[in-house]
């Protein structure tokens, strides 16, 4: 089997002011057919894993473009089109191929192109024709579109949030594409529009149980795959929102029945699965209370700064929680990673051990809050730092660890990215086990590594760039007919 593979991904926050440009992809890495060799633990991790599967089967992998960018505003159109056209040119040169497998995001939008994934898949279909199976692996925060469905033979989304199952879903998609290419299966898809906008963690019930429910349905005869696309709340595109789809082996009636059934089951959970976020002071009060538990209170309280998550398009430099830690004189705490190129430049010039007055954060607009002036000591300067990130490595760039009064430790990064791994801190020399509070710039991906060391995990709301008032997000392109903005968008007769 000759399989053509490419990886192009970013998650578009259409409300973000700054566009996503070529430099944002270059910052993480752009590889032209060699990512699995040049960056096997980073951008090339997916293709490297897939190459192992194909080699074991005695097949051949043709590797094309592999790149991704941190979430931000709409991608500059000519940047997207140049990357798309590179993939298409590589595909034409690789013909004939038996199948095409793409790792995309599903919520990538460019200037004038609301559905980059559907656009790419449609162009690929024009090249390979109707007889070559095309498969898309998507982030679960995707916008499942009709153009994607008609262009691709099978689409599979991650099931877990944080995304700990990317390899498993890639292997699942590969098996289906291989069987389709051999004529063993004929994938057909049915979709149910849940008409919901929100954010749902699969690390707790009832979402854990719903993931198990989807997996159980996948074991039924004739079912190839079940996916729930949660949607990306901060992507204002016409087909945004949660959708559930079922892929069967040439049984459209079964696919439709199961999609309707599972979609309605998910809808029935709507009041029980939202994020449990609290105010800064409520989180700090709860952290102090849990820390007073005596011998059973092990590890730090981990506070997620959910509204300032670079993984959702936020700047990563808000000071709301940091300022409150200072005002409340919270001792023995750590915050990071804060994106602040200016502060890093000043600290690098001063050197390790220097004491100085440093202005931190609050650089990128009202959603970042006001800069905070602190007297700090430069504890470490870490060139080209990186962190573990759900099975890959994510660059943080040059980082600086500074310490302020009361044992307040702050990690500054030069590449805007969310906090995934504990080694973002420990790799810079900051211990975590002895801290009372750890604040991470992340919404949920931190959970995989930080929850095991935490005595408590708390999700904290601030006036940051990512509003969690889902009913009030100012959509212009997406229909306002969704829950929680509308109590019953389906109508009583449908649910």
Helices (H) and strands (E) in the chain, counts: 14, 18
Q: Residue 469's closest CA among 275, 220, 324?
A: 275
Task: List Cβ neighbours of 74 (8 Å cut-off, separation of 6 or more).
Answer: 12, 14, 19, 20, 109, 110, 111
Give Cβ neighbours of residue 327 (< 8 Å, ≥ 6 apart): none
pTM over 0.85: yes
Please state the domain extents for the chain.
Answer: 2-268, 277-467
Distance of alpha carbon 434 from alpha carbon 437, whole angstroms: 9
What whole-number distance in Å separates Cα of residue 356 and Cα of residue 350?
8
On the 0-12 / 13-18 / 19+ scale of CB atoms within 10 A, 252 is: exposed
Identify the helix (H) or strand (E) that includes residue 151.
Answer: helix 146-151
Q: How far apart are CA 74 and CA 15, in angstroms?
A: 9
How far is Cα 448 from Cα 164, in angstroms, rounded to an integer? Answer: 8
By the 8 A CB rule, do 228 and 282 touch? no
CA distance linking residue 416 with residue 242, whole number of Å: 27
**SS3 call for 436:** coil
pLDDT in tens, the chain (495 residues): 999 999 999 999 999 888 999 999 999 999 999 999 999 999 999 999 999 999 999 999 999 999 999 999 999 999 999 999 999 999 999 999 999 999 999 999 999 999 999 999 999 999 999 999 999 999 999 999 999 999 999 999 999 999 999 999 999 999 999 999 999 999 999 999 999 999 999 999 999 999 999 999 999 999 999 999 999 999 999 999 999 999 999 999 999 999 999 999 999 999 999 888 899 999 999 999 987 644 446 899 999 999 999 999 999 999 999 999 999 999 999 999 999 999 999 999 999 999 999 999 999 989 999 999 999 999 999 999 999 999 999 999 999 999 999 999 999 999 999 999 999 999 999 999 999 999 999 999 999 999 999 999 999 999 988 989 999 999 999 999 999 999 999 985 544
Q: What angle do CA 225, 145, 76 make, to 5 degrees?
A: 125
């Amino acid at each position: 089997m000759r399989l053509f593979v490419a990886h192009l991904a970013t998650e578009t926050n259409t409300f973000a002011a700054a566009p996503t440009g070529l430099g944002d992809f270059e910052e993480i890495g752009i590889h032209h057919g060699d990512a699995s060799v040049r960056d096997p633990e980073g951008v090339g991790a997916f293709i490297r894993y897939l190459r192992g599967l194909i080699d074991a089967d005695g097949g051949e992998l043709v590797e094309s473009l592999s790149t991704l960018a941190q979430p931000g505003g709409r991608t500059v159109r000519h940047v997207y089109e140049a990357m798309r056209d590179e993939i298409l040119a590589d595909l034409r040169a690789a013909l004939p191929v038996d199948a095409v497998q793409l790792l995309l995001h599903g919520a990538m939008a460019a200037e004038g192109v609301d559905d980059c994934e559907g656009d790419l898949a449609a162009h690929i279909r024009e090249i390979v024709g109707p007889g070559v199976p095309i498969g898309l692996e998507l982030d679960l925060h995707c916008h499942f579109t009709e153009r994607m469905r008609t262009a691709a033979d099978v689409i599979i989304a991650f099931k877990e949030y944080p995304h700990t199952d990317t390899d498993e879903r890639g292997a699942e998609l590969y098996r289906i594409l291989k069987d389709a290419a051999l004529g063993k299966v004929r994938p057909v898809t049915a979709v149910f529009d849940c008409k919901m906008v929100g954010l749902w963690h699969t690390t707790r019930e009832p979402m854990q149980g719903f993931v198990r429910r989807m997996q159980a349905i996948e074991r039924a005869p004739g079912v190839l795959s079940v996916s729930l696309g949660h949607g990306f709340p901060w992507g204002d595109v016409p087909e945004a929102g949660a959708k559930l789809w079922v892929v069967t082996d040439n049984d459209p009636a079964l696919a439709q029945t199961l999609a309707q059934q599972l979609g309605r089951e998910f809808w029935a959970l709507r009041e029980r699965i939202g994020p449990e976020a609290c105010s800064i002071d409520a989180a700090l009060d709860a952290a102090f209370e849990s820390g007073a538990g005596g011998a059973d209170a092990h590890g730090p309280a981990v506070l997620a700064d959910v509204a300032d998550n670079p993984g959702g398009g936020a700047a990563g430099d808000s000071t709301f929680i940091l300022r409150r830690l200072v005002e409340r004189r919270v001792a023995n705490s750590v915050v990071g990673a804060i994106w602040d190129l200016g502060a890093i430049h000043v600290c690098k010039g001063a050197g390790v051990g220097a004491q100085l007055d440093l202005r931190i954060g609050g650089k990128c607009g009202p959603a970042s809050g006001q800069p905070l002036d602190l007297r700090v000591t430069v504890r470490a300067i870490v060139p080209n730092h990186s962190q573990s990130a759900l099975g890959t490595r994510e660059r943080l760039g040059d980082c600086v660890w500074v310490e302020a009064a009361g044992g307040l430790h702050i990690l500054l990064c030069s590449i805007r990215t969310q906090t995934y791994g504990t080694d973002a801190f420990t790799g810079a020399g900051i211990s975590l086990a002895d801290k009372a509070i750890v604040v991470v710039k992340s919404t949920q991906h931190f959970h995989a590594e930080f929850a095991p060391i935490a005595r408590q995990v708390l999700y904290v709301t601030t006036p940051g760039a990512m509003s969690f008032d889902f009913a009030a997000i100012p959509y212009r392109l997406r229909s306002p007919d969704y829950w929680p903005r509308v109590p019953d968008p389906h109508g009583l007769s449908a649910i």
